Amino acid sequence: MLQSEAWIEKCGRDYLLKINRVASELDLEDNHYLEVVGQIICQIAVEVTFCPYCGIKLDRSKNAIIPSFELYDFSK
Ligand SMILES: [Zn+2]
Protein backbone atom coordinates (compact mmCIF):
# COMPACT_ATOMS: atom_id res chain seq x y z
CA MET A 1 0.00 0.00 0.00
CA LEU A 2 1.21 3.49 -0.86
CA GLN A 3 1.94 5.88 1.97
CA SER A 4 -0.31 8.90 1.81
CA GLU A 5 -1.78 11.79 3.75
CA ALA A 6 -5.13 13.46 3.05
CA TRP A 7 -6.91 16.51 4.41
CA ILE A 8 -9.30 19.28 3.40
CA GLU A 9 -7.93 22.79 3.24
CA LYS A 10 -9.66 26.13 2.71
CA CYS A 11 -7.88 28.04 0.00
CA GLY A 12 -9.40 31.48 -0.54
CA ARG A 13 -13.02 30.76 -1.46
CA ASP A 14 -12.33 27.18 -2.43
CA TYR A 15 -12.07 24.02 -0.39
CA LEU A 16 -9.44 21.60 -1.61
CA LEU A 17 -9.04 17.94 -0.80
CA LYS A 18 -5.28 17.49 -0.76
CA ILE A 19 -3.66 14.10 -0.97
CA ASN A 20 0.06 13.66 -0.60
CA ARG A 21 1.86 10.55 -1.62
CA VAL A 22 4.89 10.34 0.66
CA ALA A 23 8.10 8.36 0.26
CA SER A 24 8.67 5.02 2.00
CA GLU A 25 12.00 3.18 2.42
CA LEU A 26 11.22 1.28 -0.77
CA ASP A 27 10.59 4.47 -2.74
CA LEU A 28 14.01 5.78 -1.67
CA GLU A 29 15.66 2.66 -3.05
CA ASP A 30 13.78 2.96 -6.34
CA ASN A 31 14.14 6.68 -6.93
CA HIS A 32 17.44 8.48 -6.42
CA TYR A 33 15.79 11.88 -6.49
CA LEU A 34 14.14 11.12 -3.16
CA GLU A 35 16.15 11.79 -0.02
CA VAL A 36 14.11 11.12 3.13
CA VAL A 37 11.23 8.90 4.23
CA GLY A 38 8.05 10.97 4.44
CA GLN A 39 9.16 13.30 1.65
CA ILE A 40 6.26 14.29 -0.62
CA ILE A 41 6.44 12.45 -3.94
CA CYS A 42 3.34 13.98 -5.45
CA GLN A 43 0.36 16.01 -4.35
CA ILE A 44 -3.10 16.09 -5.79
CA ALA A 45 -5.48 18.94 -4.99
CA VAL A 46 -9.15 18.30 -5.77
CA GLU A 47 -11.72 21.04 -5.56
CA VAL A 48 -14.42 20.02 -3.07
CA THR A 49 -17.82 21.03 -4.39
CA PHE A 50 -20.03 19.68 -1.62
CA CYS A 51 -19.50 19.62 2.15
CA PRO A 52 -18.55 16.06 3.19
CA TYR A 53 -20.58 16.43 6.40
CA CYS A 54 -23.89 17.98 5.38
CA GLY A 55 -23.76 17.92 1.58
CA ILE A 56 -24.24 21.66 1.13
CA LYS A 57 -22.72 23.14 -2.02
CA LEU A 58 -19.58 24.97 -0.93
CA ASP A 59 -18.95 27.23 -3.88
CA ARG A 60 -22.05 29.03 -5.07
CA SER A 61 -20.24 30.88 -7.85
CA LYS A 62 -19.63 27.80 -9.97
CA ASN A 63 -22.04 25.36 -11.51
CA ALA A 64 -19.54 22.58 -12.11
CA ILE A 65 -20.54 19.23 -10.68
CA ILE A 66 -17.29 17.58 -11.72
CA PRO A 67 -14.50 19.11 -9.65
CA SER A 68 -11.25 20.17 -11.23
CA PHE A 69 -7.96 19.01 -9.83
CA GLU A 70 -4.25 19.66 -10.05
CA LEU A 71 -1.41 17.18 -9.77
CA TYR A 72 2.04 18.18 -8.61
CA ASP A 73 4.82 15.67 -9.21
CA PHE A 74 7.90 16.07 -7.02
CA SER A 75 9.49 12.73 -7.90
CA LYS A 76 11.86 14.08 -10.58
ZN1 LIG B 1 -21.34 21.12 5.97
pLDDT at 66: 59
Centre of ligand 1 from the C-alpha of residue 15, in Å: 12
Centre of ligand 1 from the C-alpha of residue 17, in Å: 14
| Cα distance from N-terminal residue to C-terminal residue, the chain | 21
- Which residue pairs, CB below 8 angstroms and at least 24 apart, start in 62-68? none
Centre of ligand 1 from the C-alpha of residue 58, in Å: 8
| Domain range summary for the chain, segments of one domain joined by + | 4-73
pLDDT at 68: 73
Using left for φ > 0, alpha for ψ between -120 and 50, and beta otherwise, residue 12 falls in: left
Q: Does this model's pTM top 0.85?
A: no
Q: In what order do the strands lie in the sheet with 40-47?
A: 4-11, 14-22, 40-47, 69-73
Centre of ligand 1 from the C-alpha of residue 10, in Å: 13
pLDDT at 63: 59
Centre of ligand 1 from the C-alpha of residue 20, in Å: 24
What average pLDDT values come out for the chain (76 residues) when binned by 10 residues? 85 87 92 91 88 82 64 86
